[in-house]
Chains A and B, each alone.
Chain A
Amino acid sequence: DAGVIQSPRHEVTEMGQEVTLRCKPISGHDYLFWYRQTMMRGLELLIYFNNNVPIDDSGMPEDRFSAKMPNASFSTLKIQPSEPRDSAVYFCASSFPREQVGGEAFFGQGTRLTVV
């Protein structure tokens, strides 16, 4: 398996523009997570899905952030409009239920977002 695939790897955009981050989870995984990593706040969970349904979006910072999972093999995280404080590395991860073998989360390589 190719692992969790995120695109783009790097994104530089101007303040006010819409940004869309993409993720392809590992095939067969039930759960998909979006995390954000910043120097100030470390690694924090934004939202997660179970079988394509959003379960907990309490970590989404503002209404400017939205996430979708239209099918089991694709998810997007959208920021509209983007702001400089959104600059961070965004990770997507997927997993089986934690009680199962392989219940650990496997992470993509991340998207480094810079908003200027």
Chain B
Amino acid sequence: AQKVTQAQTEISVVEKEDVTLDCVYETRDTTYYLFWYKQPPSGELVFLIRRNSFDEQNEISGRYSWNFQKSTSSFNFTITASQVVDSAVYFCALNTGTASKLTFGTGTRLQVTL
């Protein structure tokens, strides 16, 4: 069975602080994909990144970076110099089938204040 754990329910930071959101996954499959989605207060789900199980390279996109470590089954997400607009719920998700059906974590609510 697939499982995604986001142990941090809620994080509060002050603007310009760096923040890391943790994600730990469980699967017996050797081929799988990991995702991060953002859900701002308006409610939509916004795709941020996709990673396949064969690519452990870390990725950076502007202030966002992702650290994928198969050895610890983790796919952590770091926001550098956080901004108020980063306030949202962030979901980590796992896909192990042919289709992009996702198993979601419970989400981490990030609150960035001035």
Whether A and B are associated in the same complex: the answer reads yes
Could you list which residues of chain A lie within 8 angstroms of chain B, going by C-beta atoms? 31, 33, 42-45, 48, 50, 55-56, 89, 91, 93, 95-99, 103-110, 112
Known contacts A91-B45, A104-B50; decide if A31 and B100 are in contact (CB<8 Å). Answer: yes
Interface flags for B92-110 (1: CB within 8 Å of A; 0: not) read 0001011111111111000
B33 in the interface (beta carbon within 8 A)? yes
**Does B25 touch A at the CB level, under 8 Å?**
no
Taking a contact as CB atoms under 8 Å apart, the answer to whether B47 and A103 are in contact is no
Question: Which residues of A have CB within 8 Å of B47?
Answer: 104-107
A-B contact pairs, 24 of them (CB 8 A): A33-B102, A42-B104, A42-B106, A42-B107, A43-B102, A43-B104, A45-B103, A50-B99, A89-B43, A95-B100, A96-B100, A97-B98, A98-B33, A98-B97, A98-B98, A98-B99, A98-B100, A99-B98, A103-B50, A103-B100, A104-B100, A106-B47, A107-B44, A110-B44
A55→B95 CA distance, assembly (Å): 16
Q: Cα distance A104–B52 when bound, in Å? A: 11
- Total of A-B residue pairs, C-beta within 8 Å: 66
B43 touches A33 (CB 8 A): no
B contact residues around A104 at 8 Å (CB): 35, 47, 50, 100
A contact residues around B97 at 8 Å (CB): 98
Contacting residue for A33 out of B50, B91, B100, B106, CB 8 A: B100
Taking CB atoms, residues of chain A closer than 8 Å to B95 are 98
A33 to B37, CA, bound (A): 16
Question: Using a Cβ–Cβ cut-off of 8 Å, how many residues does chain B contribute to the interface with A?
Answer: 22
B91 touches A43 (CB 8 A): yes
CB closest residue in chain B, given A55: B99
Knowing A43-B91, A103-B33, A103-B50, say if A33 contacts B44 (CB, 8 Å): no
Please provide the chain B residues from 40 to 99 with a CB less than 8 Å away from any CB of chain A in the complex: 43-47, 50, 91, 95, 97-99
